[in-house]
Amino acid sequence: MQIGPHLLKNKLIVAPMAGVTDRPFRQLCKKMGAGMAVSEMVSSNSLLWGSIKTQRRANHDGEVSPISVQIAGADPQMLATAARYNVDNGAQIIDINMGCPAKKICNVMAGSALLQDEKLVGRILDSVVNAVDVPVTLKIRTGWDKQHKNALSVARIAENSGVQALAIHGRTRACAYTGTAEYDTIAAVKAAINIPVIANGDITTPEKAQEILAYTKADAIMIGRAA
Ligand SMILES: Cc1cc2nc3c(=O)[nH]c(=O)nc-3n(C[C@H](O)[C@H](O)[C@H](O)COP(=O)(O)O)c2cc1C
């Protein structure tokens, strides 16, 4: 599994989880074998960067590479500035959050709410990819509800924008965390695009990890709650 110049030591990635995947947790996961562990999301709103919470999230001292930092927001320019800020603070990969279903995030049209506006998705990705010299990755859901599963079209936009890996959580935004993740959409995206695809959602055992890798043909898996 390769993201830009970074060759991961395996296909196992720890999912970004706000309030969970802080620096000690990421370091522990990497020590215990994870190929990569993505940071908690950092807001693209620069007014928050002075806060202790955001300063802690932007601190990567001593972290094992590759250091992947997730940013969240809805404004292309603000996200580009946030990406540069985090690269200046040690980020080696910038991940963009278009997967979070939380009301606090979606109410400002960020996180998974962005999936409803594909033009804006394209503008955000172009803006962030052009702003930094490090690889940009994207995390999405399969769509915003079961009637609007547009992961494939978002994946194509991402590939065209120069995004270097795509993580897909096998639920829609409307599903939140209910029901079970489905992997057909992930398999369809993997078959259609040429950038690495990372399968995510309900991977809870080594057996399921193998099963999902084989079923989706994804390049890697991402584990959240079972981490
Ligand atoms: C407590 C918690 C916090 C999360 N925070 C984020 C986040 O900051 N950014 C993000 O993209 N996804 C976030 N997620 C979603 C996870 O990254 C992952 O997509 C989801 O939990 C499904 O994977 P799992 O079934 O392996 O847990 C969060 C999930 C949980 C449970």
Q: How far is the CA of 55 from the centre of ligand 1 (A)?
A: 21
Q: What is the pLDDT of residue 198?
A: 98
**Average confidence score pLDDT of the chain:** 92
pTM over the 0.85 mark: yes
Other beta carbons less than 10 A from residue 22's beta carbon: 15
Does position 106 have pLDDT exceeding 70, yes or no?
no
Integer Cα distance of 9 and 100 in angstroms:
27
pLDDT digits (tens, 9 = 90+) for 166-216: 999 999 987 788 889 999 999 999 999 999 999 999 999 999 999 999 999
What would the 3-class secondary structure string for 124-170 be? HHHHHHHHCCCCEEEEEECCCECCECCHHHHHHHHHHHCCCEEEEEC
| Domain span including residue 28 | 2-223
Distances (CA, A) of 133 to 15, 88, 129, 130, 226: 23, 11, 8, 8, 33
Q: Which of 57, 94, 169 for a ligand 1 pocket mutation test, highest count of atoms within 8 Å of Cβ?
A: 169
Domain count, the chain: 1
Q: What is the pLDDT of residue 183?
A: 98
Integer Cα distance of 89 and 65 in angstroms:
13
**Binding site membership of 99 for ligand 1 (Cβ less than 6 Å):** yes
Q: What is the pLDDT of residue 182?
A: 96
CATH code of the domain in which 154 resides: 3.20.20.70
| 29 labelled catalytic | no
